[in-house]
């Protein structure tokens, strides 16, 4: 009752709670040194990748694509590598999940493009998933690589002869860098090789324990 009738007191109490709320949800996490430390494989962007990052920002890719793999099985599986991909690229059949995004991977991102809306798939682990030609074709005409795709064609990133402009080339360099601040493909394949080596060496008979 006292609070509801005394405006000054109410203001003071609201201000105190707002301060506490912001302090514990913003200031305390920001003091965590791990947030600013680059992850072990992180390296700054090259000039070309940085230029591509500006193109990504300018073209508004972030409106349809997030850059964060969350700690959910649906996401780590979906954005990981399937058997076909590991076989084609590393000569081994394995299912490798994409690790959830870690703060240290974003140490060189300013502003960050974590995003909030997924009209298209998440791009945090897309680097290395396709080759450069795939990306060029996809940007020129998304339907040519992904039938039924909703993504707009970025025709202004191509000249009259349908050749990629420097902006398109920079953009692809940037896309290929995404997710490589953690060498998860290489580490995952190495681990799978070890596991398969162990299971091949075990005397295992089907149907018997
Ligand atoms: C209107 C929403 C929209 C916008 C804007 C958009 N995309 Fe997409 N994007 C999609 C959809 C939907 C897909 C899934 C189908 C496909 O592969 O085309 C996709 C797929 C992709 C993929 C393949 C992802 C994968 O794992 O297969 C890449 C790479 C990509 N987009 C990059 C970009 C870039 C770079 C831009 C900005 C120049 C951009 N997108 C803008 C909707 C969008």
pLDDT score recorded for residue 37: 86
Residue 34 backbone phi and psi in degrees, to 5: -60, -25
**Index of the ligand 1 atom closest to the CA of residue 63:** 5
Is 209 a residue whose pLDDT tops 60? no
What integer is the mean pLDDT of 175-187?
94
Domain-by-domain residue ranges, the chain?
A: 1-31, 44-200
Percent of the chain with pLDDT over 90: 77
- Across 59-63, 107-111, 165-169, 171-175, least confident range: 107-111
Q: What are the tens digits of pLDDT across the range 101-146?
A: 998 999 899 999 999 999 999 999 999 999 999 999 999 999 999 9
Contact present, 35 and 29 (Cβ < 8 Å): yes
Q: What are the tens digits of pLDDT across the range 20-38?
A: 999 999 998 888 887 778 9
The mean predicted confidence, pLDDT, of the chain is: 92
- The two tokens of residue 47 are 């000039």
Q: What are the tens digits of pLDDT across the range 82-94?
A: 998 899 888 899 9
Q: How confident is the model at residue 206 (pLDDT cuts 50, 70, 90)?
A: low
Q: Is the domain 44-200 a CATH 1.10.760.10 member?
A: yes
Q: What are the tens digits of pLDDT across the range 72-81?
A: 999 999 999 9
Contacts of 98 (CB under 8 A, 6+ apart): 69, 75, 76, 77, 78, 79, 80, 81, 124, 125, 179, 184
What integer is the mean pLDDT of 50-67?
97
Cα–ligand 1 centroid distance for 61 (angstroms): 7
pLDDT score recorded for residue 207: 59
Q: How far apart are CA 140 and CA 121, in angstroms?
A: 18
pLDDT score recorded for residue 147: 96
Residue 9 backbone phi and psi in degrees, to 5: -60, -45
Element (H, E) at 167: helix 166-177
Cα–ligand 1 centroid distance for 143 (angstroms): 11
Contact present, 62 and 115 (Cβ < 8 Å): yes
Q: How far apart are CA 128 and CA 79, in angstroms?
A: 12
Closest CA to 184 of 113, 60, 91, 97: 97
Residue ranges around ligand 1 (CB below 6 Å): 56, 59-61, 63-65, 119-121, 123, 126, 129, 142, 146, 149-152, 154, 171, 175
């Amino acid at each position: 009752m006292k609070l509801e009738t005394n405006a000054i007191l109410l203001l003071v109490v609201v201000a105190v709670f707002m301060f506490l709320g912001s302090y514990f949800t913003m200031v305390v996490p920001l003091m965590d040194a791990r947030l600013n430390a680059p992850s072990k494989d992180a390296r700054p962007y090259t000039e070309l990748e940085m230029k591509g990052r500006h193109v990504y920002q300018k073209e508004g890719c972030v409106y349809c694509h997030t850059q964060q793999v969350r700690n959910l099985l649906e996401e780590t599986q979906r954005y990981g590598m399937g058997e076909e991909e590991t076989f084609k690229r590393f000569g081994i059949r394995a299912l490798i999940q994409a690790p959830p995004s870690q703060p240290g991977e974003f140490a060189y991102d300013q502003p960050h493009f974590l995003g909030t809306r997924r009209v298209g798939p998440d791009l945090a682990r897309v680097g290395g998933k396709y080759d450069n030609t795939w990306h060029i074709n996809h940007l020129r005409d998304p339907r040519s690589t992904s039938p039924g795709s909703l993504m707009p064609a970025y025709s202004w990133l191509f000249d009259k002869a349908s050749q990629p402009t420097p902006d398109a080339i920079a953009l692809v360099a940037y896309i290929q860098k995404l997710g490589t601040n953690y060498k998860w493909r290489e580490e995952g394949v190495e681990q799978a090789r070890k596991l398969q080596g162990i299971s091949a060496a075990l005397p295992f008979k089907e149907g018997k324990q």
